[in-house]
Amino acid sequence: MKKLIHALATLAFTVVLATVVSPDNASAATKIQRLVSPGGIEAWFVQDATVPLIAMEYSFAGGSSQDPAEKSGLGYMVAETLDEGAGDLDSKTFHERLERRAIELSFSATRDYLRGSLRMLKENREEAFDLLRLSLTSARFDSEAVERVRAQMLANLRRESTNPVSIGSRRFWEQAFGTHPYSRQPSGSLETVPNIQIADLKDYLRRVLAKDTLKIAVVGDIDPESLGKLLDTAFGSLPAKADLTPVPDVAVAQPPKKFSQVVDVPQTSVLFGGPGIKRDDPDFMAAYIVNHILAGGTLSSRLYKEVREKRGLVYSISESLIWMKHASLFAGTTATRADKAAETLDTISTELARMGSEGPTQQELDEAKSYLKGSQMLALDTSSKIATALLQYQTDNLGIDYIEKRNGIVDAVTLDQAKRVAKRIWGQGILSVNVGRAPVASAEQPAKN
């Protein structure tokens, strides 16, 4: 691994360097720099001249948790309209500028963050960052563009209203979080999206877009000095502090609880989960490894073997740990025939309970560690993926040297620690939601040749 190099003292901003393993070559090194622009904008930066591209990911605290209950979907609509014209450029002209220079600019809203992504060729960096500046500081919110986006949102919501996976997801989050903002889908509902006005979009930007919650990650072919100037171009004129509505911490509803909804569809969707573990918990990595053993999306996971291979109840099944600023949970999903839904859920519940009572074996733990250490590097094979990962590490407060330390953290997990956290998370039962035909109705369906 290469030695750390000194920051360039002649530059008008600060760069702190850390050395980590490169995803492209385990013997090479990627320097993650903590860069502070002349205007005080901080970013994590990897200078990479392999190809003449620059990728930037950034986020502001807020997300859909800042939506008023009666205007759920507000943050999502803001994200969908920020690139629909800005300054003296209407939507058509703004998109023509992006397309002419092959600039990719997009926004999204999660429950906790308003996020953005920017990709460009090195030669088009000045125009790309200036268009970003316009979208953040001078979004037009023209009525034609807003109504077009609203119509698209409502069309998607109408489609989701008959989709069993979407119905189940909404019901699961409602049951898990009650009246907390996390219970609402970021995309809003058919009842709330029509309530959102242009004034609401502008007020959301005023409250959310600010430098004190801004996190930035950049990977690409640009020198630190030039990047510092461009960061000031894009973000320098934003307000110093956000005006966020406080969001309380919340505990996931305690299992076991079962809910079902009858919808006339060929397959029943099954969603299940329960209280999880916070990202800053000392046992988080142990939980992450156990979750991989249990249902990490690989063909060797316990749930895949029990539910798919042994019983043939489903085609696929997966489960993830989900951690947010104010809550954490585990959540999984699968689909099966309506007359097999009860057996499927019973099998899932039994296997989760077994993990809770017995924990993993030493062999399972060792194999999971090996897989997770290798897959981490293989997953970071593009500039955009690296930038996305670095932004996540920042929002999770993991430190700029996290990639370097991660494999050691994985190796340090003991079998006793894994068993303890398995009991803590998966030994308490589950919340479940079934959406599909009633079993009797399904059994009456004529057989197909």
pLDDT for the residue numbered 30? 63
Report yes or no on 246 lying in a domain: no
The three-class DSSP label of residue 38 is coil
Give the tokens for residue 61.
Answer: 């605290």
User: Does residue 244 fall inside a structural domain?
Assistant: no
Give residue 439's pLDDT.
67
Q: Dihedral, CA atoms, 387, 391, 392, 394, nearest 10 degrees?
A: 140
pLDDT given for residue 381 in this prediction = 85
Which residue numbers in the chain have pLDDT < 70?
Answer: 1-30, 297, 439-449
Do 69 and 117 lie in a common domain? yes
Token pair of 280 as six digits: 């800053």
Distances (CA, A) of 449 to 148, 268, 440, 446: 45, 21, 21, 10
Residue 4 lies in a domain: no
The answer on 264 and 228 residing in a single domain is: no
Please indicate, yes or no, if residue 408 is contained in any of the structural domains: yes
pLDDT score for 440: 53
pLDDT of residue 249: 98
Question: Are 229 and 279 part of one and the same domain?
Answer: no
Q: Specify whether the CB–CB gap between 415 and 241 falls below 8 A.
A: no
Tell me 34's DSSP state: E
pLDDT tens for 161-201 read: 999 999 999 999 999 999 999 999 999 999 999 999 999 99
Whether residues 53 and 151 fall in one domain: yes
Domain boundary among 179, 202, 235: 235
Can you give the CATH number for the domain in which 73 is found? 3.30.830.10
Q: Looking at residue 446, what is its pLDDT?
A: 43
Pair 224, 367 in one domain: no
Q: What is the pLDDT of residue 18?
A: 36
349 lies in the same domain as 220: no
pLDDT at 9: 29
Asked whether residue 77 is assigned to any structural domain, the reply reads yes
326: in domain: yes
Do residues 188 and 153 touch, judged by C-beta distance below 8 A?
Answer: yes
In a shared domain, residues 207 and 272: no
CA dist 393 and 390 (Å) reads 5
d(C-alpha 77, C-alpha 156), whole Å: 13
The pLDDT assigned to 14 comes to 36
Q: What digits encode the pLDDT tens for the residues 40-63?
A: 999 999 999 999 999 999 999 999
Domain coverage including residue 231: 14-235
The CA distance from 273 to 432, in Å, is: 7
Together in a domain, 216 and 267: no
Query: What total number of domains does the chain contain?
Result: 2
Looking at the fold, whether 19 and 144 belong to one and the same domain comes out as yes
118 and 263 assigned to the same domain: no
In a domain, 250, yes or no: no
Q: Judge if 276 and 230 occupy the same domain.
A: no
In a domain, 241, yes or no: no
- If asked whether residues 26 and 127 sit together in one domain, one would say yes
Domain end marker among 170, 204, 235: 235
- The string over 368-398, giving b where at least 16 C-beta atoms fall within 10 Å of a residue's C-beta and e elsewhere, is bbebbeeebbeebeebbebbbbbbbbbbeeb
Can you tell me the distance from the alpha carbon of 228 to that of 11, in angstroms, rounded to the nearest whole number? 10
